[in-house]
């Protein structure tokens, strides 16, 4: 069973890929072998695009089953691709890396504490989830400090008691900490997952794999 993989030699697969329950978004230059593994392992349809002209899809795209969030810097052709699969919300250009500043599943969203209350309210309404403005392990780029599926949340090992308490107030899902790629606490850079399964960077250890299994309950 394939669990570890790289993206054209790069173990940071979460930087290039954004996964939802039924869909994965990957760059135009994604290798066919990579696409095939993502489709089979996660049970998703894969679509190819750029976001803001870039291949770092995971950093620039966020959302859940209710739609996609990108910055207003996304091009009309990129937005058209996304709209073929769901609704699209735009962040202001000042927060242009949606995938870095939003961690979301179908039950909650955690957002960069620098996002304004007005934008946080728009995110909550668009994704139809409660929104928590917080850091994860004192890291403001929450989208890369953790991975959230509809089975649980795997978060940076520096997660504080205060952060845990705030998260547990808005979800009953399991919350755990871990790392990927031999100790990298920016879990979102190296792990992609949904309720069907997960894929993680090729340097990830057996202990780290076991922790992912434990938290998400695969």
pLDDT of residue 95: 83
Q: β-pairing, 67-71 with 62-64?
A: antiparallel
pLDDT of residue 122: 96
Which pLDDT band holds residue 210 (cuts at 50, 70, 90)? very high
Query: pLDDT digit string (tens) for 158-187?
Result: 999 999 999 999 999 999 999 999 999 999
pLDDT of residue 2: 75
3-state DSSP assignment of residue 104:
strand
Residue 156 C-beta-side C-alpha neighbours within 13 Å: 21
pLDDT of residue 191: 98
Cα Rg for the chain, rounded, in angstroms? 16
Q: Which domains does the chain have, with CATH numbers?
A: 11-216 (3.75.10.10)
Which pLDDT band holds residue 116 (cuts at 50, 70, 90)? very high
Where b means 16+ CB within 10 Å and e means fewer, 93-122 reads: eebbbbbbbbbbbbbbbbbbeebeeebbeb
Percentage with pLDDT > 90 across the chain: 96
pTM of the model: 0.96
Mean per-residue pLDDT of the chain: 96
């Amino acid at each position: 069973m394939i669990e570890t993989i790289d993206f054209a030699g790069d173990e940071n697969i979460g930087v290039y890929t954004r996964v939802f329950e039924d869909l994965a978004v990957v760059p135009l230059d994604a290798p066919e072998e990579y696409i095939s593994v993502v489709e089979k392992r996660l049970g998703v349809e894969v679509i190819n695009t750029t976001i803001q002209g870039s291949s770092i899809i995971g950093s620039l795209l966020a959302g859940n089953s209710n739609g996609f969030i990108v910055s207003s810097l996304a091009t009309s052709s990129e937005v058209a691709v996304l709209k073929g699969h769901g609704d699209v919300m735009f962040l202001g250009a000042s927060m242009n890396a949606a995938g870095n500043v939003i961690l979301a599943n179908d039950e909650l969203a955690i957002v960069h504490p620098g996002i304004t209350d007005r934008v946080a309210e728009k995110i909550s309404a668009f994704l139809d989830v409660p929104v928590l403005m917080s850091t994860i392990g004192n890291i403001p780029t929450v989208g890369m400090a953790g991975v959230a599926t509809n089975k649980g949340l795997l978060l940076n090992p520096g997660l504080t008691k205060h952060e845990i308490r705030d998260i547990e107030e808005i979800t009953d899902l399991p919350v755990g900490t871990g790392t990927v790629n031999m100790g990298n606490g920016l879990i979102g850079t190296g792990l992609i997952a949904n309720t069907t399964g997960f894929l993680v960077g090729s340097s990830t250890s057996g202990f780290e794999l076991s922790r992912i299994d434990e938290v998400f309950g695969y």
